[in-house]
Amino acid sequence: MSNQVDFGPLAELIGVWKGDKGTDLAPEPDGAEVNPYSETITYAAVGDVTNAESQVLAVVRYHLEVMHKENNSKIHDETGYWIWDAKTETVINSLIIPRAVCVLAGGKFDSKVDENGQLTLDVEATIDHSDWNIIQSPFMKEKARTNSFNRTITVGNGKMKYFQSTKLSIYGKEFDHTDENELFRQ
């Protein structure tokens, strides 16, 4: 591993970010609940890795913590990596949430920069995707199954916005569990 690497679009992420205008829509047995939240995300440069002596990936590790605005209790914790494959222009987000759910989401990087000088990172995974999948415990598969995950992050000039949709089968119905927030580099 070396840390003299080109992180490509992931270079924009590295640092500590905070935002307090998050909105979560989460499932409840009788419908849904809306949770306003504040959030801290820390992205750290790892370096690069070589796979099978041919694929070189640039890697950023992150940890995010989400607190309910009402009482500052933690409502989401997530750790993972963002990975950049320059050769195929692919971004990958591998993540774990402590409900015994792991996601390997990926997508082709579109190098377009918008009018605010920001880049977009767009990844998806589904339980039946040929490349990008979800692994979950037997309990979650049966009772609170994650069927798909999509995450879009727009980042640049010290500002980040994201929207994500986690499609669940829970309480005998289909539920679109969504989260969005705006964060600023500290």
Taking CB under 6 A as the rule, does residue 170 contact ligand HEM?
Answer: yes
> DSSP for the chain?
--S----GGGGGT-EEEEEEEEEEEEEETTEEEEEEEEEEEEEEEEEEEEETTTEEEEEEEEEEEEEETTT--EEEEEEEEEEEETTTTEEEEEEEETTTEEEEEEEE------TTS-EEEEEEEETT-SSS-EEE-HHHHHHEEEEEEEEEEEEETTEEEEEEEEEEEETTEEEEEEEEEEEEE-
Q: Report the residue from 149, 154, 160, 183 that binds ligand HEM according to the rule CB under 6 A.
A: 149
Compare residues 5 and 153 and give the one whose CB is closer to ligand HEM.
Answer: 153
CB of 124 to ligand HEM, least distance (A): 11
Site for ligand HEM in 91-120 (CB under 6 A): 97, 99, 101, 103
Find the part of the chain contacting ligand HEM (CB under 6 A) among 12-20, 23-31, 47-55, 83-91: 23-31
CB of 181 to ligand HEM, least distance (A): 7
If binding is defined by CB under 6 A, does position 35 make contact with ligand HEM?
yes
Establish if 168 lies at the interface with ligand HEM (CB under 6 A): yes
The yes or no reply on residue 150 touching ligand HEM (CB under 6 A) is: no
The CA distance from 182 to 137, in Å, is 31
* List of residues contacting ligand HEM (CB under 6 A): 24, 26-27, 35, 37, 66, 75-76, 97, 99, 101, 103, 144, 146, 149, 166, 168, 170, 177, 179
